[in-house]
Structure formats: structure tokens, C-alpha cells
Amino acid sequence: MNRIIKFIILDILKNRIVFFYTCILAVLSWSVFSLEDNSSKGLLTLLNVILLTVPLISVVFSTIYIYNSSEFIELLVSQPIKRGKIWWSLFLGLMLSLLLAFFIGAGIPILIYAPSDVGIMMILVGSFITAVFVAIAFLSSILTRDKAKGIGICILLWLFFALLFDGMILFLLFQFSDYPIEKLMVGITALNPIDLGRILILLHLDVSAMMGYTGAIFKDFFGNQIGIIVSLSILFLWVAVPFGLSLKRFKRMDL
């Protein structure tokens, strides 16, 4: 398996898009931290940038890469290799190279400017978000053979998780503002990996003090260690379930 992963990673690292992605992340992170003298404020700005760009690039790049590897997959399938191994290698190769790009682009500046718990949590969340959206890309690209459709599905999913979901939550909050739905809200955030990541970091920053009653409920849940472990496990499920579904389907697929 390692040999195939090695080849895939080398192939991806030669790709200009990943190089630009790393550069853009690096430029953003360095400039955000140099503009703000308070590293905590810098992290907050960077958080929003990362939660918007990282999922988008991860999901779109992975989907396109999987479609472009279709013939490569065919070549490997005709070799004496287990099918599951091919899909796993492709997944690990894509995930590891995007994680590397994220770490070089955003991780290193964060470690330099904000080497605190929050900084490390931010790198962890960014890595999880990368993995989640690579897994989602695997699911959306196996759902249809049509490349344009597959890319459409993955962009829609990104749009949903990055923007629409928050809109729906706001709508719910206003509609049911007379009822005590705060606890329910904690459950609903588990349905969106981006929100989960955002909350995990926000609650470690001082700004969480200004989030009112809902914020307090969230802090009560996510602020302690069990909450962090639970939410990281949920993020892990967000990687495992979409990829697992795609793997199951790939094993039975006609190529």
C-alpha cells in the first residue's frame, strides 16, 4: 500500500494547484499575524479564512483529482492489487498531501505566532476539516460517473456546510427564540463539521465571553475535556462514514 501512496503523493505534490494552495494559505496566515499585534485576534481572523478556503479547496481538488485518476485506477485494478487497497491509497495520498499543504501554509505560522492551546487546536481542527472534505469528495465522486455532476455535487455540499447551514440555524434560532432550544442546538452543530470546528476554537478564545446564554450552554458542553473528545470523535466520524460508504461502493463498482 505504501508504494502506491508514495506515487500518488509525489504526483499530487507536483501539481501546481496544491503549490498555489500552500502559497495562498501562507500569504494569508503571515499577513494576518503581521497585521494584528494580538495573536488571539489574528487567530480569529485566520479561523474564518481557513474555515472558508480549506473545505472548498480540499473538496474540489480531491473530486477533480479522483475523476482524473479514473484511468489510473483502471490500470491498478487490472494489476494484482485488492480494490480496497487502491481506494485507501488514493484517499491517504490525497489527504496526506493536502494536510502537508495545510501544515506548511497555515500550521507553521500559527506555531510561530500563536504557540498556545488555541493554536494547536486550530491546526487540529484545520487538519480534521481537510480530512472530512477529502472524504466527502470521495463520496460525491463515486455517486456519479459524470465529472461535471460530481464537481457540482461537491460544490453544493461545500456551499451547504459553509453558508446555508448557518443560515438555517439562524432561522431556527429566531423562530424558536421563545423556547429553550439551546441544548438541541449543541446536537444540531454535530451535523456540520465546519461549525463544530468553529465552535471548538471560538470557545477557547476570550471572545466566547460575549456570546450570551447560548454561548454559555456551548461552553458548558464543549469547554470541558469530554466535550472536546466527543466533538473530535464526531469529526472523526465525519471522515470515516463518507469514506466508508464510498469504499463499500467502490468495491462493487464496474470500471
Partner 1 sequence: MIEISNLSKNFGKLKVLNKINLSCLKGECIALIGPNGCGKTTLIKSVLGMVIPSEGMIEVQGINIANHFEYRNKIGYMPQIGRYPDNMSIGQILEMVKEIRRGQSSLDESLVEEFKLNDLFNKRMRTLSGGTTQKVSATLAFLFNPDILILDEPTAGLDPLSSEILKEKITDVKKEGKLVLITSHLLSELDDLVTQIIFMQDGVVHFHKSVQDLISSTGESKISKAIAKILKTQAVEQNN
Residues that bind partner 1 (CB under 8 A): 3-4, 7, 11, 14-15, 68-69, 71-72, 74-83, 252-255
Instruction: Provide, rounded to whole angstroms, the least separation between the CB of residue 250 and partner 1.
Output: 11
Q: How far is CA 16 from CA 11, 12, 20, 29, in A?
A: 10, 9, 6, 20
Instruction: Provide, rounded to whole angstroms, the least separation between the CB of residue 140 and partner 1.
Output: 21
Instruction: Tell me whether residue 38 or residue 70 sits nearer to partner 1 (CB atom).
Output: 70
Question: Which region, left, alpha or beta, applies to residue 214 given φ > 0 means left and ψ of -120 to 50 means alpha?
Answer: alpha
Which ranges in the chain belong to alpha helices (H)?
A: 2-13, 16-35, 39-68, 70-77, 83-102, 108-113, 117-143, 147-159, 165-175, 182-189, 193-202, 212-222, 225-251
Instruction: Quote the CA–CA distance of 39 and 62 in Å, as a whole number.
Output: 32
Instruction: Provide, rounded to whole angstroms, the least separation between the CB of residue 7 and partner 1.
Output: 5
Instruction: Tell me whether residue 73 or residue 234 sits nearer to partner 1 (CB atom).
Output: 73
Instruction: Tell me whether residue 8 or residue 123 sits nearer to partner 1 (CB atom).
Output: 8
Instruction: Tell me whether residue 75 or residue 226 sits nearer to partner 1 (CB atom).
Output: 75
Instruction: Quote the CA–CA distance of 144 and 239 in Å, as a whole number.
Output: 20
Instruction: Provide, rounded to whole angstroms, the least separation between the CB of residue 67 and partner 1.
Output: 12
Instruction: Tell me whether residue 76 or residue 186 sits nearer to partner 1 (CB atom).
Output: 76
Instruction: Provide, rounded to whole angstroms, the least separation between the CB of residue 233 and partner 1.
Output: 32
Instruction: Provide, rounded to whole angstroms, the least separation between the CB of residue 76 and partner 1.
Output: 8
Instruction: Quote the CA–CA distance of 132 and 212 in Å, as a whole number.
Output: 30
Instruction: Quote the CA–CA distance of 100 and 47 in Å, as a whole number.
Output: 18
With beta carbons less than 8 A apart as the criterion, state whether 120 and 43 touch.
no
Instruction: Tell me whether residue 72 or residue 160 sits nearer to partner 1 (CB atom).
Output: 72
Instruction: Quote the CA–CA distance of 29 and 35 in Å, as a whole number.
Output: 10
